[in-house]
Amino acid sequence: MFRKSLTIALLAVSLVVSPLSSFADEGMWLPDSLNKLPLGEMKKRGFELKPEDVYSTTKPSLKDAIVQISIGGTGSFVSPDGLILTNHHVAFAAVTRASTTEKDYINNGFLAASRAEEIPAQGYTISVTQDFKDVTADVTAAVKPEMTPEERTRAIAVKQQEIAKAAAAGREKEGIRTQVVEASGGYQYFLYTYLTLKDVRLAYAPPKSIGYFGGDPDNFEWPRHCGDFAFLRAYTAPDGSAAAFSKDNVPFKPKKFLPINATGIKEGDFAMVMGYPGATYRLRESYSVEYRQNIQLPDQIATLRQQIDVLTKLGDKDPALRIKYADQIFSLSNSLKAFEGAVAGLKRMNLVPRKRAEEAAMQKWLDANAALKAKYGDVLANLGTLYGELTAISAKQNALNALLSSGDLINALQFAYERATSRDLPANERAPQFSDQFLPQVTTQLSAGWEEREPESESRLLAAALARVDELPAGQKIQAVEKSFEGKSGKERRAAESEFARKAIEQTKFKSFDEVKKLFSASAAELRAIDDPALKLVIAAVDENAPLNKKQTQILGSVTKIRPLYVASLVDFRQATNRGLPYYPDANFTLRFTYGDIRGYKPRDAVIYEPQTTLSGVIAKDTGEEPFNVPEKLKELYKKKDFNGYVDQRLNDVPVDFLATTDITGGNSGSPMMNGRGEIIGLVFDGNYEGLGGDYAYDISLNRTIAVDIRYVLFVLEKFAGANYLSNEMTVKRPKAMAASK
């Protein structure tokens, strides 16, 4: 894969000053590893806590105030009565599920005038980390040298489940949940224990015109003027146990909640974040990054564009559908821009060649030491071969996967058929996800929202997927699909695909979920005998995809066997050659700590971004039309300068959003931005577009966290919403002049 040795040598030299080298503010650190950080330097910058104040299992610490929200975000307890501060976009699913055409909480916002009026956040749970420990040795003990890649993958998955199940035994009623998670491509495994609460309620959400001001045009952009915040509350049974919603439940009493500091911030101030970042790939080999940049991410981008287009057109036809799909379109649009930005970032950073250069230097280091060469072997060459094989099957597999994920009916039929075919295999070859053990959980997931299905959206998505299948090269066509549209091309084929998709979805025999559920106990032969167009298409697609999935499983099984060796060699190489910070695991939706300072950046030549925005900027963007429609009451407050004391004296305005160098990614949404004393100064809600490649490499010159200033949160809460009863239950350190007047 390397082109010229001279190019490699030059890149290897440049690596010493390359952005691949770690910077001080880089790192999503495990919260018990602060002793690895330069605490002396951090204290000079403003960090005032001890490591045990951040993470402790023997006394309340910051970890006890940080919550993981089930839909993939973070929040923090901000009162002794279970009040949770998070993002508007994290709470948005709860807002939309509670909204109707008569009660439009999306556009009007929601405020519970008292705790009795707080409404269930449907589908939400929150989890608080209790502890975690390294169980790598226990997990990898299940692996035997003679195992095939598939057997190795299965053995590890089974062992993870066994360890987690044993750790939670007898504690489920307490709300204890356990999970064994992989870190850094199988280099490590950790057992996490969580307290999970099931009764979560919505207390306040501003209207979309504040909570998502700027919409998609401003998403990932700076300057931002978005009040992306909302309040939830966690409840338990009266005896303190985790319980589902009940009117008799009482507010949860957290071990720790975070105080608010509204006295103000400025550029250069120390800032830190704790939250649950979703996934990073900084320890991945160049072949993995290249595959994501050129194949996986572009495929996801194409799929998302397709789905957004279908749902948007349906919403344009029907206001009720526009409300129904608002959360889904928002989520898809957010992912689309993130993926597009990631591809742009990877190319801008020239990351694949840079990683190749580092790997070339590492290989030279390995080759020079017989013991290291024997320990790590030809990991890089083997990974390159495997990714070449993966690339060869990707186009066809991606098209089939898009077809099989084109709606609730297709998804359910796919599960039924794959479960049936899995049961036909020998016991040791069956996929765990199709076992009876997981059937209740999967059934619940598949049935959720079944009665609210929109056949038209599913048929349109299916038609779009069929059109994508038609784009496959000649040698990769799907024969069962080609037979259905034989002799047709262009507009004629598109029309035939649309008609087929409409009939398959609308005329299926399986109208209710109860009818679908019966299929979960059927054999593969019984399913093949049913004359139903949707089911027949699914069976054909699954059968066509099966050998590709098997090949992919073999390839990825081999990759996961090799990758821990690659990570180990990379860690050893960097330590031996003094390159970068100590090792920290890639993000994996577990609790992490990161720090930095409030700072602007230079996105391109002759442009400098200041680190703070103001309410004047909100007003300046007002067009009267979504997504730049400023609420009339907010404009009136601005006109009267009725700011309730939340004016920043340096800015002479109400601050709205700010930037920091803290190292975050998706999943950190809703994380508290804290000062060095652990007081909330803002709320993480986004990253900047120029920093979207940050999942693969951190660059302090461009990577920025975007946070809403806590003063804007309080201003909107108190002056716009009149929800002083919520701010009164929080511990708020206010500006001196304001505190004196209260």
Active centre residues (catalytic) = 89, 228, 669
Asked if 731 and 260 touch (Cβ cutoff 8 Å), the reply is yes
113 exposed, middle or buried (CB, 10 Å; 0-12, 13-18, 19+)? exposed
3-state SS string for 567-590: HHHHHHHHHHCCCCCCCCCCCCCC
Tokens of 339: 């993926």
* Long-range contacts of the stretch 508-514 (C-beta < 8 A, 24+): 508/409, 508/532, 508/533, 508/534, 508/535, 509/535, 510/409, 510/412, 510/413, 510/534, 510/535, 512/450, 513/412, 513/446, 513/447, 513/450, 513/451
Sheet strands (E) in 198-341? 199-205, 230-236, 250-251, 260-261, 270-275
DSSP, res 170: T
DSSP, collapsed to helix, strand or coil, labels residue 197 as: strand
Helices (H), 577-664: 615-621, 632-640
Contact 592, 274 (CB under 8 A): yes
Cis ω before 145 (30° cut-off from 0): no
Question: What Cα–Cα distance (Å) separates residue 56 from each residue in 68, 132, 195?
Answer: 18, 11, 15
**Sign of the four-CA dihedral 276, 72, 411, 438:** positive
Residues 280, 282, 285, 288, CA torsion sign = positive
- CB 684 within 8 Å of CB 616: no
Q: At what angle do helices 351-367 and 379-404 cross, to 10 degrees?
A: 140
Label residues 50-73 b or e (16+ Cβ within 10 Å = b).
ebebbbbeeeebbbbbbbbbbbeb
Residues 598, 601: Cα–Cα separation, whole Å:
10
